[in-house]
């Protein structure tokens, strides 16, 4: 996305992806179009389609505008018809008036005289100003666009204006997403507190997020750990909240309300599964301290080494994955499924460590698991 927005044609694949999109629309503004506009473009390049899909989920999650952005280039707005007939907006870009954000002071569109003073645009540009102002004022998402840009949007604006150092792009984006999600994660914390009937301090909540983000090498597994902490699953009580024909009772036919905690831990039909998992984890890690799932997720288990804490997180995460594999099924997960999933994860971590020349770290962490699996064969 950063390369697209900067139209970094020195990066060979950007030119290839630009060529795969409709020729008269710059890939610079593609991220700021609506899903409906993307569909109309009939983009065939799978990498472009995939990237846009991920970006669409991010902007929905962060409640960003879905069909426009303050970071969009004025001369590249696809549904602004004057752009197709008048190159004058491109001349604005040459004078430094690049993005929609520059048309605003706070939440108010600047006057023409303000823009003249700041960017030295000509008197003959007055009609163009009226055109873009009318477009913005009538836009369906003008209320969102008028809001002061978030730190996340400011990053994109700086990228377009070539003010942003592109070192450490991933970490820069990650930090901004974390900042945007802070309020959301606190809402999730409140749900955890309600179901656990206890207060979770903000500091321990933040600590748990940092620890679980480092769990396993696979992005898919890291995403899954995020989903667990964010309660990102359609449980019966969630489905019933928007579907009047759906029951809020547990699908395992235990007769109880199927909220998040119930489906994952408290259902009578999964308690035997968790007892078995807990017993096997105790054997693998030689644990003598008592622990429960909530303490593991909130990083409250007092363990002697970081390696043991790390592996406990991994083994518990795999146990949660087995539950989702049996999602909507009346029968509970089994310990055998957990062992098979553990073998798969262990193999992938071994391969990844070998490729990254980090076999020493793998051996330090996974030796107890390998010894356990050898005994199982």
Let me know whether 137 and 211 are in one domain: no
Over range 78-100, report the average pLDDT: 88
Let me know whether 43 and 11 are in one domain: yes
Distance set, CA 333 to CA 259, 308, 318, 320, 330 (Å) = 18, 25, 12, 10, 10
Q: Which of 39, 32, 23 is nearest to 4 (CA)?
A: 32
Helices (H), the chain: 2-6, 12-20, 35-41, 46-61, 82-85, 88-94, 112-119, 126-138, 142-146, 151-160, 169-196, 202-213, 219-230, 236-242, 260-261, 268-285, 293-297, 306-325, 335-355, 359-376
In a domain, residue 309? The reply is: yes
Single out the residue in 128, 160, 192 at which a domain terminates. 160
Q: Which two tokens stand for residue 264?
A: 């994952």
- pLDDT of 269 above 90: yes
d(CA 217, CA 58): 22
Over range 319-343, report the average pLDDT: 95
Over range 194-207, report the average pLDDT: 78
Q: Which two tokens stand for residue 100?
A: 């929609």
What is the chain's mean pLDDT, rounded?
86
**Of residues 309 and 26, which shows the higher confidence score?**
309
Which of 51-60, 63-72, 287-296 is predicted with the least confidence, judged by mean pLDDT?
Answer: 287-296
Size of the chain, expressed as the number of residues it contains: 377
> In this prediction, what percent of the chain has a pLDDT beyond 90?
40
- Rounded to 5 degrees, φ, ψ at 73 are -70, 135
Single out the residue in 102, 129, 160 at which a domain terminates. 160
- pLDDT of 288 above 60: yes
In a domain, residue 201? The reply is: yes
- pLDDT of 204 above 80: no
Which of 242-251, 283-292, 348-357 is predicted with the least confidence, judged by mean pLDDT?
Answer: 283-292
In a domain, residue 52? The reply is: yes
Let me know whether 216 and 81 are in one domain: no
d(CA 59, CA 21): 21
In a domain, residue 199? The reply is: yes
Total count of domains within the chain: 2
Residue ranges making up the domain that contains 69? 2-160
166 alpha carbon, distance to own chain's centre: 21
Let me know whether 208 and 352 are in one domain: yes
Q: Would you state the pLDDT for residue 262?
A: 93
Q: Which of 300, 332, 107, 279 is nearest to 211 (CA)?
A: 300
Let me know whether 185 and 119 are in one domain: no
- pLDDT of 224 above 90: no
Let me know whether 207 and 103 are in one domain: no
- pLDDT of 81 above 80: yes
Let me know whether 141 and 203 are in one domain: no
Angle at 375 between CA 374 and CA 377, to 5 degrees: 65
Let me know whether 129 and 194 are in one domain: no
Single out the residue in 126, 160, 194 at which a domain terminates. 160
Work out the number of other CB atoms within 10 angstroms of the CB of residue 90.
13
In a domain, residue 108? The reply is: yes
For residue 291, name the pLDDT band (cuts at 50, 70, 90): confident
Residue 333 near residue 273, CB atoms below 8 Å = yes
Let me know whether 195 and 154 are in one domain: no
In a domain, residue 165? The reply is: no
Q: Would you state the pLDDT for residue 166?
A: 61
Residue 173 near residue 55, CB atoms below 8 Å = no
Over range 212-233, report the average pLDDT: 78
**Of residues 255 and 301, which shows the higher confidence score?**
255
Q: Would you state the pLDDT for residue 78?
A: 83
Q: Would you state the pLDDT for residue 181?
A: 61
Q: Would you state the pLDDT for residue 23?
A: 65
> Hey, is 252 helix, strand or coil?
coil
Q: Would you state the pLDDT for residue 22?
A: 65
Q: With the CA atoms of 31, 33, 38 and 41 taken in that order, what torsion angle do they form, in degrees rounded to the nearest 10?
A: -100
Over range 210-221, report the average pLDDT: 73
pLDDT in tens, 150-192: 778 888 888 887 755 666 677 677 667 766 665 566 778 888 8
**CA distance from start to end of the chain:** 47
Distance set, CA 137 to CA 34, 66, 108, 140, 352 (Å) = 18, 16, 10, 9, 52
**Rg of the chain in Å (alpha carbons):** 26
Let me know whether 212 and 361 are in one domain: yes
For residue 229, name the pLDDT band (cuts at 50, 70, 90): confident
- pLDDT of 315 above 90: yes
d(CA 264, CA 267): 7
- pLDDT of 60 above 90: no
Enter the pTM of the model. Answer: 0.57
Encode burial over 4-17: b for 16+ CB neighbours within 10 A, e otherwise: bbbbeeeeeebeeb
Let me know whether 228 and 360 are in one domain: yes
Token pair 């409709």 is at which residue? Answer: 22
In a domain, residue 172? The reply is: no
DSSP 223-246: HHHHHHHHT-S--HHHHHHH-TTS
Let me know whether 185 and 120 are in one domain: no
Distance set, CA 122 to CA 83, 115, 362 (Å) = 18, 10, 65
- Rounded to 5 degrees, φ, ψ at 241 are -70, -20
Which of 19-23, 146-150, 234-238, 366-370 is predicted with the least confidence, judged by mean pLDDT?
Answer: 19-23
Which of 68-77, 192-201, 232-241, 337-346 is predicted with the least confidence, judged by mean pLDDT?
Answer: 192-201
In a domain, residue 169? The reply is: no
């Amino acid at each position: 996305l950063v390369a697209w927005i900067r139209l970094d044609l020195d990066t060979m694949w950007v030119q290839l992806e630009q060529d795969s999109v409709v020729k008269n629309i710059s890939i610079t503004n593609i991220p700021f179009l609506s899903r409906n506009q993307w569909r109309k473009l009939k983009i065939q390049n799978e990498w472009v389609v995939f990237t846009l899909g991920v970006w669409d989920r991010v902007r929905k999650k962060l409640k960003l505008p879905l069909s426009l952005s303050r970071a969009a280039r004025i001369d590249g707005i696809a549904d602004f018809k004057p752009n197709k007939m008048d190159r004058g907006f491109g001349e604005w870009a040459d004078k430094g008036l690049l993005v929609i954000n520059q048309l605003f002071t706070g939440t108010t569109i600047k006057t023409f005289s303000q823009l003249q003073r700041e960017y030295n645009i000509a008197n003959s540009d007055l009609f163009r100003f009226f055109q873009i102002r009318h477009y913005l004022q009538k836009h369906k998402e003008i209320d969102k666009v008028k809001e002061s840009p978030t730190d996340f949007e400011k990053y994109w604006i700086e990228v377009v204006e070539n003010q942003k150092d592109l070192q450490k792009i991933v970490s820069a984006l990650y930090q901004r997403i974390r900042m945007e999600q802070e309020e959301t994660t606190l809402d999730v914390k409140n749900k955890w507190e309600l179901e656990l009937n206890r207060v979770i301090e903000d500091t321990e909540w933040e600590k748990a997020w940092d620890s679980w983000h480092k769990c396993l090498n696979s992005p898919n597994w890291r995403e899954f750990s995020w989903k667990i902490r964010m309660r990102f699953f359609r449980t019966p009580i969630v489905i019933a909240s928007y579907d009047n024909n759906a029951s809020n009772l547990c699908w395992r036919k235990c007769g109880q309300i199927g909220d998040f905690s119930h489906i994952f831990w408290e259902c009578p039909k999964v308690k035997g599964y968790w007892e078995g998992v807990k017993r096997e984890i105790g054997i693998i890690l030689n644990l003598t301290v008592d622990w429960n799932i909530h303490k593991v997720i909130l990083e409250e288990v007092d363990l002697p080494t970081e390696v043991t804490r790390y592996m406990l997180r991994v083994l518990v995460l795999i146990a949660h994955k087995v539950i989702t594999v049996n999602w909507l099924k009346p029968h509970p997960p089994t310990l055998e499924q957990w062992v098979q999933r553990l073998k798969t994860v262990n193999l992938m971590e071994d391969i990844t460590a070998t490729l990254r020349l980090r076999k020493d770290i793998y051996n330090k962490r996974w030796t107890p698991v390998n010894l356990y699996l050898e005994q199982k064969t």
